[in-house]
Structure 1
Amino acid sequence: MGALIEINTDGLAKLGETICYGIGLAAFGRKKMANAEAYAAIKQAETETKVEFLKLKGQEEIAKYISARESRKINNVKSVVEKATSHFMEEEKVSNEPVNTNWTNRFFSIVEDISDETLQDIWGRILAGEVKQPNSFSLRTLDLLRNVTKEEAELFVKASKYYVEKNFICTEEFALSLHETLLLGETGFINSEELTKEWNIEPNSKLEIIIDRNTLIILHNDTNKKVWCQPSVKKLSKAGIEILSLVEKTDRNKFYKILTQFFKSNGVSRVFKHEIVEYGENCSYKSIGEELFG
């Protein structure tokens, strides 16, 4: 049985220790090998004991079923751990705080039953994130995700393209359909209450909106009338915010274009997008910008 993870960074070392502690073994220690005996061999031994006992009782069919089921669980865990290792870099520093044992136990009990590769990738990201910085993902988030289907996860990835101001998802018709919005609410990713953002610009002035940590939108009102922009939004749940950190940053140019069309349809004269490259005191910033055209 090959190595589950070979330790060559602080992050992978801690990942190995987390696996060992999670199943009741002493830590292997940093810069050593944490291999499949850490998880898979113990589970295999437990399974073989059950199988042999059932065979002695003449329950061959049940023994085969248990053997196949446990083998599948072991392979699921190995796949998730392998995906987690890809999210550590050489010489990457991680928190010295250990991962909570209750969290580890809950995590592995869940991923034993996760066989879809897309979902395994999400769980691998969660494991890596928690190892790097414990308490990043709550037990409630783990329990929410265990019931999420591949299609629901893909919908959340789609919705993540439309997030604004850290914890809101635009639910205007140009972003998500009513069906999609309701489904995200049912899964627990967003809160059900309908909210309205108020981005209103005084006459002959401008308004700055921090869309996310790296993007600033500036709305210019060159008229003598106040411009009202009030898109419908939903607030991400705590679990939704935690999971949003897992989503790879995708190209949001289409969203910016549609958002620009929305602003201009409401009377905004010009729209500029700026990349925030430095934060200073009182949230000041240096930026590089470009005008957007819907």
Structure 2
Amino acid sequence: MEIKDLTGLSEPLKKLIEVISQGVGALSKPYLIRKTADAKAYEIKVIAESIKANQKSLKQIDYNEEKLSLASIDGESIKAELSLEERTKNRTDFKQQKKQKNIEVITQKAAEQLESESTVSEEPVDEDWTTRFFDYAEDISNEEMQEIWARILAGEIKQPRSYSLRTLELIRNLSKDEANTFMKVAKFAIKSGDSHFLFKGKDGKILNEEYNINYGDTALLTEIGLIQPGAFVNYQILQQPQDSQSVFTTDKIILIAKIKANTPTITMPVDVFSKSGNELLKLVSPNPPFDYLKAIADSIKSDNVEVKYAYIMAWEGNSIRHTQPLLDF
């Protein structure tokens, strides 16, 4: 794709194309701007034509109503008709076509993520990150996992350094079931400062007893590196010589705890997300049940601590614009 071909595209899509050119060389503009349904039909037709042209081991290939059907010849016929070199070439060609298809599906989904964006960071995406991303992405065939990789690519284009190389390595080895477990648990994430945690309740059982998040779920996420290890971890609001406040947020609600001076340190048993876990939470919109938020407030409240909440209207940099007045639990 030449520079003149970028005319008429938004800045986010232009940046996406530049990143693709660093990682895989080129991708056609028409492919990027097709809508999902058209793109699926288009890509299948291209694959069908490519396989038909290169796979001598196929007797018949048909495309009808967005469905692809292949009919291959039997093993004896292959032995009779193809040499070892030809069979090796066919296998290599097929693997390369599949890798190319995976990359194109992921970049198409990333383009759809960026279509609604008007601007992106002018900071370039690191070339090493781009190379590593496409090296991994070409092996991602599962549709749900392709969606995750597409959102990561779009997120990195919008704001470089959002996802570390360590996180890419972790996601590369993430199974569909492990990803589903993370999504299940992540909806209960509470943010404080730059980190997220899971509130476990005073007896450590609230997630299990009330919301079906069991020990196996959090143990799995700890094992694969999305939750920090440690069985007895506490979130602490430290004693201060002056009045202070602590802020907790979900996707839609902000909790504000106003603490009087010299209030003894407050502790809450929690599971803390790792650096990679915090990065992956950018793909999720944590929105826990209100009763869960109330349990957090009840664990903090005292004669010296007042906890109220409001609905988030917008994030403005590091500031939050929310509804007024603050509400009691």
TM over 0.5: yes
Distance 1:278 1:20 in 2: 35
Distance 1:18 1:197 in 2: 40
Map of 1:150 onto structure 2: 176
> Bigger CA drift: 115-124 or 161-170?
161-170
Distance 2:91 2:246 in 1: 57
1:164 aligned to 2:191? Answer: yes
23 and 270 in structure 1: CA distance in 2 versus 1, 3 angstrom threshold: closer
Tell me if structure 1 keeps the 8 A contact 2:125–2:157.
Answer: yes
Map of 1:177 onto structure 2: 214
Distance 2:287 2:95 in 1: 37
- Give unpaired runs (5+ residues) of structure 2: 1-5, 33-42, 57-80, 208-212
Q: How does 1:103-122 map to 2 (within 5 A)?
A: 103-122=129-148
Secondary structure of 1:97's match?
Answer: coil
CA RMSD of aligned residues (A): 4.1
Q: Deviations over 1:45-99 (max 9, x none)?
A: 9xx99x9xxx996434333332332222222112211211122145611122322
Secondary structure of 1:197's match?
Answer: strand
Q: Deviations over 1:29-60 (max 9, x none)?
A: xxx93758xxx99xx99xx99x9xxx996434
Tell me if structure 2 keeps the 8 A contact 1:156–1:184.
Answer: yes
Map of 1:216 onto structure 2: 254
Tell me if structure 2 keeps the 8 A contact 1:7–1:34.
Answer: no
Query: 1:258: how far off?
Result: 4.2
- Give unpaired runs (5+ residues) of structure 1: none
1:84 aligned to 2:110? Answer: yes
Distance 1:113 1:261 in 2: 47
Aligned length: 267
Distance 1:111 1:117 in 2: 12
Query: 1:24: how far off?
Result: 4.1
1:195 aligned to 2:191? Answer: no
Tell me if structure 1 keeps the 8 A contact 2:113–2:151.
Answer: yes
Map of 2:29 onto structure 1: 33
Query: 1:142: how far off?
Result: 0.5
TM-score normalised to the size of structure 1? 0.72
Distance 1:124 1:284 in 2: 28
Instruction: Give the letter aligned to residue 9 of structure 2.
Output: N
58 and 105 in structure 1: CA distance in 2 versus 1, 3 angstrom threshold: same
Pick one of 274, 277, 280 that aligns with 1:240.
Answer: 277
**Share of identical aligned residues, percent?**
29
Tell me if structure 1 keeps the 8 A contact 2:23–2:130.
Answer: yes
Distance 1:23 1:191 in 2: 35
Tell me if structure 1 keeps the 8 A contact 2:148–2:283.
Answer: yes
Map of 2:158 onto structure 1: 132
Query: 1:259: how far off?
Result: 3.1
> Bigger CA drift: 132-141 or 248-257?
248-257
